[in-house]
């Protein structure tokens, strides 16, 4: 089973690397509007960082490099304990087209059944993850106690514009690859494979497997990875919880906010 699991994880990482596209050389405009610090949902005030698009803070990467250089692993131990003991907010769902060719992300903010925007993962530029806007209000998302289902609109390829807003770089980008991203996901009915959640104590984003994706991979434990990059600026998914930790996911809807925590399997 360990060999099978390692093979599957390797395939996932390779697919993620394939999903990183070129940004093109078109004109760009930097966003000037201030970002909100809080979000309102059902009369609750929630830190907007939980629902911002996932990023990889440069200071986190620098701290990781420094800890490795001095041989200090205490930060990693604390990180793992926080993952296991805290209640987390699932801000985004991470999924692929039906052929598992490209990785996409959509927000889980404020609803359990709603239409959302679609973003595709692009390459890292100057330490910043790219999130290309594939389509707005183009995917129907349904969340229940165990699974997330996504139904993408038909005929997204009718939009032939190759200039789009990259919500990660925060500028307009021209790149022909966006045409393929629209075509591959249009009309697809797929499952959410990972939850994205933010942990303010580490200023970092993490992904955890959904129940249905675990079923499809033939595993019975929850896997958690940290969203990061390596010294060459390529995406790197750092394992935090794995088979040996023997954890599973508890997920529930708290008035439109999807919450998760990790519990020891009985």
Of 47-51, 69-73, 157-161, least confident by mean pLDDT is: 69-73
Concatenating the DSSP letter of every residue in 163-189 gives EEEETTTTEEEE-THHHHHHHHHTT-E
Contact of 266 with 212, CB cutoff 8 Å: no
* pTM recorded for the entire structure: 0.79
| 215-233 per-position pLDDT tens digit | 888 888 899 999 999 988 8
Contact of 249 with 222, CB cutoff 8 Å: yes
Q: What does the pLDDT read at residue 15? A: 44
Give me the chain's average pLDDT, please: 79
| 155-191 per-position pLDDT tens digit | 999 999 999 999 999 999 999 999 999 999 999 999 9
Instruction: Give the angle 4-195-120 at the CA atoms, nearest 5°.
Output: 95
Q: How confident is the model at residue 143 (pLDDT cuts 50, 70, 90)?
A: confident
- CA 102 to chain CA centroid, nearest Å: 13
Q: How confident is the model at residue 83 (pLDDT cuts 50, 70, 90)?
A: very high
Q: How confident is the model at residue 248 (pLDDT cuts 50, 70, 90)?
A: confident
Instruction: Give the angle 189-192-198 at the CA atoms, nearest 5°.
Output: 150
Q: What does the pLDDT read at residue 113? A: 57
- CA 17 to chain CA centroid, nearest Å: 14
Coil, strand or helix: which one is 263? strand
pLDDT above 90: residue 70 = no
Coil, strand or helix: which one is 43? coil
Six token digits for residue 54: 């996932």
60 C-beta neighbours (distance < 10 Å), count? 18
């Amino acid at each position: 089973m360990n060999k099978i699991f390692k093979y599957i994880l390797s395939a996932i990482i390779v697919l993620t690397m394939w999903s990183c596209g070129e940004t093109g050389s078109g004109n760009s405009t930097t966003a000037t509007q201030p970002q909100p610090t809080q979000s309102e949902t059902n009369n609750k005030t929630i830190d907007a960082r939980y629902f911002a698009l996932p990023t990889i803070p440069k200071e986190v990467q620098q701290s990781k490099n420094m800890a490795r250089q001095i041989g200090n692993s205490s930060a990693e131990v604390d990180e793992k304990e926080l993952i296991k003991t805290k209640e987390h907010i699932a801000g985004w769902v991470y999924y692929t087209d039906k052929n598992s060719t490209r990785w996409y992300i959509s927000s889980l903010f404020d609803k359990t059944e709603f239409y959302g925007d679609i973003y595709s993962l692009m390459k890292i530029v100057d330490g910043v993850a790219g999130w290309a806007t594939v389509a707005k209000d183009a995917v129907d998302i349904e969340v229940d106690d165990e699974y997330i289902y996504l139904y993408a609109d038909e005929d997204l390829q009718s939009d032939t514009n190759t200039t789009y807003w990259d919500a990660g770089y925060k500028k307009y980008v021209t790149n022909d690859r966006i045409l393929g991203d629209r075509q591959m996901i249009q009309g697809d009915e797929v499952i959410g494979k990972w939850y994205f959640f933010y942990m303010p104590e580490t200023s970092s984003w993490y992904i955890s497997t959904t129940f249905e994706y675990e079923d499809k991979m033939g595993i019975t434990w929850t896997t958690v990875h940290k969203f990061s990059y390596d010294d060459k600026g390529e995406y790197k998914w750092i394992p935090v919880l794995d088979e040996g930790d023997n954890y599973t996911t508890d997920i529930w809807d708290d008035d439109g906010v999807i919450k998760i925590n990790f519990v020891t399997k009985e």
